[in-house]
Structures are given as structure tokens and as C-alpha cells.
Structure 1
């Protein structure tokens, strides 16, 4: 026969573990939905990437400048 105190302790332990897991899940969701925090994380990743290997970022910047320049030239030629 099982001891009711052991059953109660087991249930209380499971409830506490479930509650802790729920709090961890809610914290993770809050972190993912916190846009300013996510932008800060993304900016730090980009900065770290530029510091480690700037060539791909410079190539992307050059491509962006070329596209904007092309749009400006096309708009001026239409006038």
C-alpha cells in the first residue's frame, strides 16, 4: 500500500517542476518577442561578423550602393 505522504510529495514535486518549466518557457517567449532586445542581439552579431571578416559585408554594402545608384540614374533619365 502506498503512503499518502509520499504521493503528496511526488505530486508537489511534479507541480513544482512543471511550474519551473512554464516560467522558463514564458521567459523564452518574452525574449523572442522583445524586438529591441532582438535588434540589439542582431546588431552585436553583425558587428562581431564585421570584425572577424569584413569582406562579405563590404561586398553587400557595395551592391546596395550600386542598386541605389542605378535607381537614381534611371529616375534622372526618365525626367
Structure 2
């Protein structure tokens, strides 16, 4: 193998490694992923808000139930 071939292979390997590292950095970019998730959630809500409203009401009922249970439960041991 000639020196030029070895240099070309090394350059290609470096370019492949750089591309792989860039892809990993993009996938592990938490703020970017959170922003994408938020955008998807907003789009889903705008498309059909009914499931979101039902879910919100369910969470509120559960929270109110837990608060009532904590207040009215008999803690006298």
C-alpha cells in the first residue's frame, strides 16, 4: 500500500469518526430533545386537545383525592 493510499484511508477514517461523533452529540443534546418534545406536544394538542384535557382532569382528580386522603385519613396510631 502506498503512502498516498494510507493517508487517504486515514482521512476517510477521521471523517467517518467525526460524522459519528457529530451524530452522537446531536442525539445526546438534551435541551434540543426537550425542545423537540415540547414542539411535538404542542402540535398534538393543537391537532386534538380532547385527550390532553381528559388527561389534565384525571391528574387533577387524582391530586385532589390524594390531598383529601392525606387530610381526612386517620393517623392516630
Q: TM-score, normalised by structure 2?
A: 0.73
Q: Equivalent residues in 2 for 1:3-42 (5 A)?
A: 7-42=2-37
Post-superposition shift, 1:14? Answer: 3.4
Q: How far off is 1:10 after superposition?
A: 4.3
Where structure 1 has 5 or more consecutive residues not aligned to the other structure, the ranges are: none
Structure 2 residue runs of 5 or longer lacking an equivalent are none
User: How many pairs were matched up?
Assistant: 74
- RMSD of Structure 2 on Structure 1 (CA): 2.0
Q: Residues 18 and 64 of structure 1: is their aligned pair in 2 closer, same or farther, counting only changes over 3 Å?
A: same
Query: Please, which of 38, 42, 59 is the counterpart of residue 43 of structure 1?
Result: 38
* Range 24-33 or range 46-55, more displaced: 24-33
Aligned match of 1:60: 55
Larger proportion of helix: 1
